[in-house]
């Protein structure tokens, strides 16, 4: 990613050289995180619908997930909606709890800004299996898909997003307040969408890929 970012800025450098410089500088992040996907025994778990499915259009599948964000004292949770095909972060929210209302808020923001996907994929966390969240998705006609228990590979690209957020932003700061964490992370996600190239997207940014992958009818609208 650093190589691609430098190349886009007009600096001709290779991946191996960037890797060597990173090793010399000791750039490395080690962390542990609490569980953000605790299952609720009374909630319905939906089957995983994406195995073997070809996902090539924007707004075909959205993924929701929550990750733990450490601060200088304490921590917060980041929940985001990500377009599966383009990796674009469609909406995000920082909160101090894992309540379903925060997942619903970020989902509704994505609906309002970007339309309606065919499938919404989540893990089995209680915030996503809660009846209120499921109803918010079903009311829009979306099908619900959930990762297998402990099957992080079912949603691996969102895990890569969390790694990028933490290595490239969170671990470079020691946030003193929730407001500071919110401003910094939202600024990073905006940069991630607009300026960060991805090798899996032929070095396009998520914004570039998203608008190219929209169905023709949506592009015309």
What is the model's pTM? 0.78
What is the 3 state secondary structure string of the chain? CHHHHHHHCCCCCCHHHHHHHHHHHCCCCCCCCCCCCCCCCCCCCCCCCCCCCCCCCCCCEEEEEEEEEECCCCEEEEEEEEECCCCCEEEEEEECCCCHHHHHHHHHHHHHHHCCCCEEEECCCHHHHCHHHHHHHHCCCCEEEECCCCCHHHHHHHHHHHHHHHHHCHHHCCCCCHHHHHHHHHHHHHHHHHHCCEHHHCCECHHHHHHHHCCHHHHHC
**Can you read off the two tokens belonging to residue 194?**
């607009």
30: pLDDT confidence band, cut at 50, 70 and 90? very low
Q: Is residue 7 part of a domain?
A: no
Which residue is listed with tokens 């402990």? 150
Mean pLDDT for all residues in the chain: 87
Q: Find out whether 198 and 87 touch, Cβ atoms under 8 Å.
A: yes
Q: Is residue 52 part of a domain?
A: yes
Q: Is residue 72 part of a domain?
A: yes
157: pLDDT confidence band, cut at 50, 70 and 90? confident
Residue pLDDT, tens place only, 178-210: 999 999 999 999 999 999 999 889 999 999 999
**Can you read off the two tokens belonging to residue 193?**
């969408």
Q: Is residue 161 part of a domain?
A: yes
Residue pLDDT, tens place only, 111-137: 999 999 999 999 988 899 999 999 999
pLDDT (mean) for 23-37: 58
- Domain with 69, as residue range(s), is 31-220
Q: Is residue 6 part of a domain?
A: no
Q: Is residue 14 part of a domain?
A: no
Question: What CATH number did the domain enclosing 164 receive?
Answer: 3.30.420.10
């Amino acid at each position: 990613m650093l190589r691609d970012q430098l190349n886009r800025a007009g600096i001709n450098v290779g991946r191996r050289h960037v890797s060597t410089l990173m090793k010399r500088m000791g750039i490395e992040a080690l962390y542990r995180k609490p569980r953000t996907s605790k299952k609720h025994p009374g909630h319905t778990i939906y089957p995983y619908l994406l195995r073997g499915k070809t996902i090539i259009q924007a707004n075909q599948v959205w993924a929701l997930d929550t990750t733990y964000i450490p601060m200088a004292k304490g921590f917060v949770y980041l929940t985001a909606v990500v377009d599966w095909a383009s990796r674009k972060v469609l909406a995000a929210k920082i909160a101090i709890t894992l309540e379903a209302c925060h997942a619903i808020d970020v989902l509704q923001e994505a609906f309002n800004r970007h339309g309606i996907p065919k499938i919404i994929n989540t893990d089995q966390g209680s915030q996503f299996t809660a009846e209120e969240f499921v109803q918010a998705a079903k009311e829009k006609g979306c099908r619900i898909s959930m990762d297998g228990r402990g099957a992080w590979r079912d949603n691996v690209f969102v895990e890569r997003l969390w790694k990028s957020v933490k290595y490239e932003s969170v671990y470079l700061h020691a946030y003193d307040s929730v407001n500071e964490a919110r401003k910094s992370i939202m600024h990073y996600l905006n940069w991630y969408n607009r300026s960060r190239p991805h090798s899996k997207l032929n070095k396009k940014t998520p914004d570039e890929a998203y608008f190219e992958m929209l169905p023709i009818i949506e592009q015309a609208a």
